[in-house]
């Protein structure tokens, strides 16, 4: 049976931990509000731009621009995995890493290279010995559009150079404070929308472009890739803060429950000690 000093020491330690988890929950909630505002502002534009360009890609010749080129499905794949730099956010990082690993296993005949954003994913895949072409950590404290441009440039350069036949994004999509969903999006080549037979453009239909198609694609398609990467970074940032807030709230509640249980047990131990001392006093008095 533990002594009263040990029990009091454990209760003090749990109370200290509870203060930390409560503070981390408050900080995560504050950051979540800002991250949620940013993603709610950027998401409609990114979704609509992807919808328009997917429709455009299905109506034009894939040779119109290198980012539209559809290649055989046996070449190397570049997978961009976006995780957090820190832990203490529940299963957030584990879910993303598990989904990325499953995606790699699902393509056994294709070589896979990784571009890693976030310290947790970088450390895991580096220990596993994967082929890592690019890594970036410490960007979520001051996330900017320039970070997305840098990552998108790596993907575009590798794809246009023929080093990879496809580029995929693995990240956590923010749904709500209690729900985040790990998704895998094809970044390159730009996906072609399924228009259906009734909506397919008739043979011989000619489209008019102003300015020239080459200039439109050269300006618009790289920007589209940057925006989709930026949206993924914002989604991941909001999901991380939501997961951390939920995890710290659960930890705070669990610590309160542990404190109550230990306090009750400590009172029982103290009461047993007092009872034992009284019995000893009574037994001594009777012996006299």
Contact 120, 93 (CB under 8 A): yes
236 in active site: no
218 belongs to a structural domain: yes
The verdict on 272 and 237 lying in the same domain is: no
The verdict on 8 and 131 lying in the same domain is: no
Residues making up the chain, counted from first to last: 288
The verdict on 213 and 282 lying in the same domain is: no
Contact 112, 76 (CB under 8 A): yes
279 belongs to a structural domain: yes
The verdict on 221 and 274 lying in the same domain is: no
Contact 182, 46 (CB under 8 A): no
CATH of the domain at 127: 3.40.1380.10
The verdict on 31 and 174 lying in the same domain is: yes
Task: Walk across the sheet containing 112-117 and list its strands.
Answer: 131-136, 112-117, 77-82, 166-174, 180-188
Range of the domain at 14: 4-20+250-287
**Tens of each residue's pLDDT in the chain, 288 residues:** 678 888 889 999 999 999 999 999 999 999 999 999 998 888 898 888 888 877 777 777 777 788 888 877 678 899 999 999 998 998 999 999 999 999 988 877 788 999 999 999 999 999 998 889 999 999 998 999 999 999 999 999 999 988 999 999 999 999 888 889 999 999 988 877 664 444 444 444 455 767 776 777 788 889 999 999 999 999 999 999 999 999 999 999 999 999 999 999 888 888 887 888 788 788 877 776
13 belongs to a structural domain: yes
The verdict on 218 and 75 lying in the same domain is: yes
- The single residue of 39, 78, 89, 229 carrying the catalytic annotation is 89
- What's the number of CA atoms in the CB half-sphere (13 Å) around residue 174? 26
Written as six digits, the tokens of 185 are 């999006």
- The helix or strand, by DSSP H or E, that contains position 166, with its residue range, turns out to be strand 166-174
Query: What pTM was estimated for this model as a whole?
Result: 0.85
Contact 35, 142 (CB under 8 A): no
d(CA 230, CA 217): 19
Helix, strand, or coil (residue 113): strand
177 belongs to a structural domain: yes
């Amino acid at each position: 049976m533990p002594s009263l000093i040990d029990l009091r020491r454990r209760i003090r330690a749990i109370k200290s931990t509870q203060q930390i988890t409560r503070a981390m929950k408050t900080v995560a909630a504050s950051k979540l509000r800002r991250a949620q505002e940013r993603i709610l502002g950027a998401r409609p534009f990114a979704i609509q731009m992807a919808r328009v360009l997917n429709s455009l890609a299905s109506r034009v010749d894939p040779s119109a621009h290198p980012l539209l080129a559809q290649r055989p499905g046996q070449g190397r794949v570049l997978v961009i995995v976006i995780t957090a730099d820190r832990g203490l956010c529940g299963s957030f990082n584990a879910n993303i890493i598990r989904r990325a690993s499953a995606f790699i296993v699902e393509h056994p005949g294709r070589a896979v290279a990784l571009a890693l954003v976030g310290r947790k994913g970088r450390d895991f895949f580096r220990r596993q010995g994967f082929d890592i072409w690019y890594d970036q950590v410490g960007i979520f404290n001051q996330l900017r559009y320039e970070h997305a441009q840098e990552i998108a440039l790596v993907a575009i350069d590798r794809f246009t150079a023929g080093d990879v036949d496809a580029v995929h994004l693995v990240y956590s999509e923010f749904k709500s404070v209690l729900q985040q969903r790990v998704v895998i999006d094809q970044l390159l080549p730009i996906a072609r929308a399924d228009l259906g037979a009734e909506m397919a453009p008739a043979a011989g239909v000619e489209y008019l472009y102003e300015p020239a198609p080459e200039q439109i694609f050269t300006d618009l398609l790289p920007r589209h890739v940057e925006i989709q990467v930026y949206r993924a970074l914002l989604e991941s940032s909001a999901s991380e803060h939501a997961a951390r807030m939920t995890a710290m709230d659960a930890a705070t509640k669990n610590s309160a429950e542990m404190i109550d249980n230990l306090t009750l047990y400590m009172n029982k131990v103290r009461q047993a000690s007092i009872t034992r001392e009284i019995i000893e006093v009574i037994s001594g008095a009777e012996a006299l």
